[in-house]
Amino acid sequence: MKRVVAVILSALMLLTLFGGCAQSAAPATSSADNAASSEVASSAAASYEKAKEPVTVTIWHECDATIAQTIQDELNKLAPDIVVKVERKEKMSEALKLVGNDPASAPDMYFFAHDKIGLFAEMGILAPITDFITKEDLSSMIPMTIPAGTYKENIYQLPLYFETLLFMYNKALMKEVPKTTDDLLAYMKANTKNGSYGYVEQHSTAYYTAGWMQGFGGFIINDKAEPGLNKQEMIDAVTYHQQFVKYMPADGEYNTVTTLFKEGKAHSIISGPWLVPDVKKAGIDLGIAPMPTINSTNKPITPFSGVQGVSVLKSAAQTKKDAITAILKQLLKPDIGIALAKAANCAPANTKCYDDASISANEMIVAMKKTADNVVPMPNVPAMDVMWSITENMLSAVNKNNADPKTECEKAQKEALSQIEAMK
Amino acid sequence: MKKKLLPYLYSFPALLVIGLIVLFPILYTGYISLTNMNIYHWFNYSFIGLDNYVKALFVMDSGFIPAVLRTLLWTVINMMLQVVLAFFIALALNAEGLRLKNLYKTLLMFPWAMPGYVSILLWRMGMFNTEFGMLNQWLRTMGFENINWLSGNVMAFTCCTVVNLWLALPFMIMMIDGALQSIDKAYYESATLEGAGFFTRTGKITVPLLRPIVAPAIIMSTFTTFKQFDIIYLLTQQQGAKTGADIHTIITYVYEKAFITNNFGYSSAVSIVIFAMIIVLSIFTRKDLKEEGR
């Protein structure tokens, strides 16, 4: 008896072990679809009905639930012919690397920021959106949102909204907003005392400091995947920026600087729109101002922008072409941009949305729209993946350990070249 | 014949599981390390021989040797402190007449019950943060300037050691405490009768009798300490919150050099090289243990 039990248990263990390897017979259809298809099969005119069977399109995302729901609601308008399932996938970009070319496991489309486009395009899992819609269809988009999703001359993303950094200030503490960076420095010198700060930012985080670098005409990496860390503009930017860091909290990471601003201990901050709900909840009288102009270049601080949009996977491009075209056309209408702006304060990529009264009355969205002429989309070349860490090592050595900017920039450039080489 | 085969048959399911979850990943990593699997050849990778190993040895440039030495220093300092502190805490817990023993033991186990990731980030924000950390709040109350705890190399290394001790001591205390309780009290009684003091009893009875029981725990902890990643990475290297300290150990060093490149072939080659290093280390420690056992 014992033996029998042991054998059964062993068999069960082995079965569960291999259970995960099994492929789902109908991965892209839900139980509702299965039920629908069985009904169809039992009907008399089965073949005719089959032609009218709804097409299911799965869109992966990793964003806020409100945003996902808004996209889902918009695409529900295509039912019953096209059933769209907007599904949350944790660690989505990692998941796409693993299953991106497997039609059984991969989604048909995904919704994400533009900066991974180069990586996925290079892996060969994306289809250009111009296979479904024309370039003219995109003419109403804010100009910078199109190059953001373009890699090696192919457009891979239909932009829905964009994010960028804003100069936010506490109206109760800062009466006059500094117009130039020299004014800002003077303000910081006068107002940084007793645990209170004139201005704070994540001074050693590449995403935030890039605005200073780009304001000086420097760049972290260009679209040819050439790093620019040792360019004179970059050295000038890092050296100039170093003097601001003295008047900011030494540990300039996200939680520290945002808490200071929310607690009214920092008069101003450069941060993203995601901070606004928390700041308002904390009872801060929030103002949004244009970025200060850098005196030596006469250009404002020029931050990165992230463009959020949908991309199509190659595996779905052939089998579901009509459905995907219909989805992209639906998302080309201003409706989705207006809905996202109303639901989650997103700045629409489609300029037509700004004709809507509710959008033009939204102070934050209008401020973001204004900065859109003055932003650089995050590089989407795959080599950018290694640049974040290298740039931050450089910045933290200069800002937190008082290292010499020129030496660190040279060191970082060398490191960048060797890391980019190591990717190949 | 049947008798000889039967044990293998019985252990086959277990061996199969071990093979699948331990051996297979190692062999597969070895296989990938011989290919050019990277983002430019993601699905159409091909066999490229030992090229990745050449590259891996090349990456072990000027930064690699200091990282190796730092890892060894990190392991030695942490293990010494861990064993000595845990030994004395366990001795104190076993002192005659100590009240509320179980309460102390529960409290001492607390760091172990919390997920490491959470503890480390709590230490970073709650203790070491320059603005809100408890250490700087104390300093400010006493009229001193803020200290940036995690930016200097020596200071950051010390802070990481403190956090590692906080996380690792419970395990060592528990092992030593258990071992202490297994020592027959009669030895101490007769030693006391013979006139032996605390130090003689500890040196001649406690330590020799503890050794065989505690040795495996020390070896296990040595490996955990050697390949420690979370503490050093989360306290000093986390992207978006780097502190400027360069206290890379081998694992954090190769993570930053290889794993972020998305080059699986190359990262696998680096992993296999580290794997080989750990195997060599384990052979040495096993040898030591055997000699000690004699």
Based on the fold, state whether residues A202 and A148 are members of the same structural domain: no
The CATH number of whichever domain residue A283 belongs to comes to 3.40.190.10
Nearest-by-Cβ selection for B40 from A122, A249, A386: A122
- Domain segments of chain B as ranges: 64-244
Is A398 part of a structural domain of the chain? yes
User: What are the pLDDT digits (tens) for B57-91?
Assistant: 776 666 777 888 899 999 999 999 999 999 999 98
Among 3.40.120.10, 1.10.3720.10, 1.10.1380.10, 1.10.3470.10, what is the CATH number of B64-244? 1.10.3720.10
Task: Quickly state the pLDDT bin for A176 (edges 50, 70, 90).
Answer: very high
* Mean pLDDT, residues A349-370: 90
Based on the fold, state whether residues A210 and A335 are members of the same structural domain: no
d(CA A255, CA A244): 19
Cα of B82 to nearest chain A Cα, Å:
29
Question: Is the confidence at residue A389, as pLDDT, over 80?
Answer: yes
Q: What is the pLDDT, as a whole number, of residue B54?
A: 85
Based on the fold, state whether residues A217 and A324 are members of the same structural domain: no
Tell me if A100 sits within 8 A of A313, measured CB to CB: yes
Show which residues on chain A lie within 8 Å of chain B, measured between beta carbons. Answer: 10, 13-14, 17, 97, 101, 119, 122-124, 195, 202, 204-205, 207, 249-251, 253-256, 259-260, 382, 385-386, 388-389, 392-393, 395-397, 399-401, 403, 418-419, 422-424
Based on the fold, state whether residues A102 and A184 are members of the same structural domain: no
Tell me if A267 sits within 8 A of A169, measured CB to CB: yes
Question: Is the confidence at residue A22, as pLDDT, over 70?
Answer: no
B241 to chain A: nearest residue by CA? A253
Q: What is the pLDDT, as a whole number, of residue A25?
A: 40
Give contacts of B 125-164 with A, CB under 8 A. Answer: 125, 128-132, 140, 146, 148, 150-152
Task: Quickly state the pLDDT bin for A34 (edges 50, 70, 90).
Answer: very low
Based on the fold, state whether residues A153 and A126 are members of the same structural domain: yes
What amino acid occupies position B208?
Answer: P
Based on the fold, state whether residues A155 and A296 are members of the same structural domain: no
Q: What is the pLDDT, as a whole number, of residue A19?
A: 52
Is A20 part of a structural domain of the chain? no
Based on the fold, state whether residues A276 and A341 are members of the same structural domain: no
Find chain B residues with C-beta within 8 A of A193's C-beta: none
Cα of A415 to nearest chain B Cα, Å:
9
Question: Is the confidence at residue A139, as pLDDT, over 50?
Answer: yes
Cα of A225 to nearest chain B Cα, Å:
14
CA B239 to chain centre: 22
User: What are the pLDDT digits (tens) for A253-275?
Assistant: 899 999 999 999 999 999 998 89
Based on the fold, state whether residues A262 and A384 are members of the same structural domain: yes
* Mean pLDDT, residues A384-394: 93
Q: What is the ipTM of this complex?
A: 0.82
Range of the domain at A178: 164-305+379-422
Nearest-by-Cβ selection for A396 from B40, B244, B260: B244
Q: How many distinct structural domains can be found in chain A?
A: 2
Task: Quickly state the pLDDT bin for A12 (edges 50, 70, 90).
Answer: low
Average pLDDT, chain A: 88
pTM equals 0.83
Based on the fold, state whether residues A275 and A355 are members of the same structural domain: no
List per-block mean pLDDT (blocks of 10 residues) for chain B, which spans 294 residues: 82 91 92 90 87 78 80 94 93 85 87 89 92 92 90 93 94 91 87 87 88 88 89 90 88 83 86 86 74 54
Which residue from B226, B228, B229 is spatially nearest to B256, judged by alpha carbons?
A: B229
Nearest-by-Cβ selection for A419 from B43, B130, B261: B261
Question: Is the confidence at residue A16, as pLDDT, over 90?
Answer: no
Tell me if B221 sits within 8 A of B82, measured CB to CB: yes
Based on the fold, state whether residues A179 and A109 are members of the same structural domain: no
Is A40 part of a structural domain of the chain? no
Is A110 part of a structural domain of the chain? yes
Compute CA distances B105 → B95, B207, B215, B217, whole Å.
13, 21, 22, 18
Tell me if B178 sits within 8 A of B210, measured CB to CB: no
Based on the fold, state whether residues A291 and A388 are members of the same structural domain: yes
Cα of A419 to nearest chain B Cα, Å:
7
CA-based R_g, chain A, Å: 25
Is A45 part of a structural domain of the chain? no
Based on the fold, state whether residues A239 and A171 are members of the same structural domain: yes
* Mean pLDDT, residues A86-98: 91
Q: What is the pLDDT, as a whole number, of residue A42?
A: 44
Q: What is the pLDDT, as a whole number, of residue A203?
A: 94
Q: Lowest-pLDDT range, A20-29, A131-140, A345-354, B79-88?
A: A20-29
Task: Quickly state the pLDDT bin for A373 (edges 50, 70, 90).
Answer: confident
d(CA B187, CA B184): 6
